[in-house]
Structure 1
Amino acid sequence: MRSFKLIFIFCSCFITAHSFAQTISSPQAIEDDLLRIFKRVNYYGTHKKEFKAIDSLKKMNSIFAFKLKYYTSKYPFTISQKFTSLVKERMVVATSADGMFRTYSWDTRLGNGGYDFDNILQYKVGAQTQSLLKMDPPGKEAYWFPKIYTFTANNKTMYLAVYNSVMSATKAGQGIRAYAIEKGVLNGRVPMVKTPTAVLSRLYYEYDLNSVADWDIFPTITVDVKNQTILTPLVDYKGKMTRKFITYKFTGRFFEKVKS
Structure 2
Amino acid sequence: MKKLLAVIAFVYSQAAYSQNLAAGEQKLAVILKDLNHWVSFKEQANADSLKEANRYFRESLLSYLSEPGTLTYEFKALVKEGLYVAEAEGGAFRIYSWRTGGTGGTQYYSNIYQYKSANKVFAKLQPDISAAAGFWYTDVFVKKAAGKTFYLGIGHAVYSAKDTYQGVKAFSVDRNGLNDTIPLIKTETRMSNELGFTFDPSTVSGKKRDRSLIEYDTETSTFTMPDVAEDGVISKKEVKYRFSGRFFVTVKQ
Distance 1:134 1:194 in 2: 24
1:164 aligned residue (140, 152, 156): 156
2:32 to 38, 45, 55: 38
Q: How far apart in 2 are the matches of 1:192 and 1:46?
A: 38
Within-5 A mapping of 1:61-210: 61-73=54-66, 75-210=67-202
Which residue number corresponds to residue 3 of structure 1?
Answer: none
C-alpha deviation, 1:230, in angstroms = 1.1
Name the aligned partner's letter for residue 173 of structure 2: I
Distance (Å, rounded) in 2 between the aligned partners of 1:215 and 1:161: 24
Q: CA deviation at 1:63?
A: 0.5
Corresponding position of 2:221 = 228
1:216 aligns with 2:216: no
- Structure 2: state its 5+ residue gaps: 1-17
Query: What per-residue deviation string (whole Å, max 9, x for no partner) do you get for residues 119-160 of structure 1?
Result: 111111233211111243454241111110011122111000
Q: What is the TM-score of this pair, normalised by structure 2? A: 0.86
Hey, what does 1:57 align to over in structure 2?
A: 50
Structure 1: which 5+ runs fail to align? 1-23
Alignment-mate amino acid for residue 246 of structure 1: V
> Contact (CA 8 Å) 2:141, 2:151: kept in 1 or not?
yes
Of 159-168 and 246-255, the range deviating more from structure 2:
246-255
Q: Is the 8 A contact 2:106 2:133 kept in 1?
A: no
Match of 2:3 in 1: none
| Shift of residue 176, structure 1, vs aligned partner | 0.4
Q: 1:28 aligned to 2:22?
A: yes
Q: Deviations over 1:171-201 (max 9, x none)?
A: 0111101100011410011221223432221
Q: CA deviation at 1:210?
A: 2.7
| Bigger radius of gyration | 2
**What count of residue pairs does the alignment treat as equivalent?**
234
2:54–2:100 Cα contact (<8 Å) kept: yes
SS in 1 for 2:43: coil
Tell me, in whole angstroms, the C-alpha distance in 2 between the residues paired with 1:159 and 1:239: 28
Alpha-carbon distance, 1:49 to partner: 2.7
Alpha-carbon distance in 2 for matches of 1:196, 1:43 = 45
Task: Report how far residue 61 of structure 1 moved.
Answer: 0.9
8 A Cα contact 1:162 1:175, kept in partner? yes
Normalised to the residue count of structure 1, the TM-score between the two structures is: 0.83
Task: Output the CA distance in 2 between the equivalents of 1:145 and 1:30.
Answer: 23
Paired residues for 1:3-14 under 5 Å: none
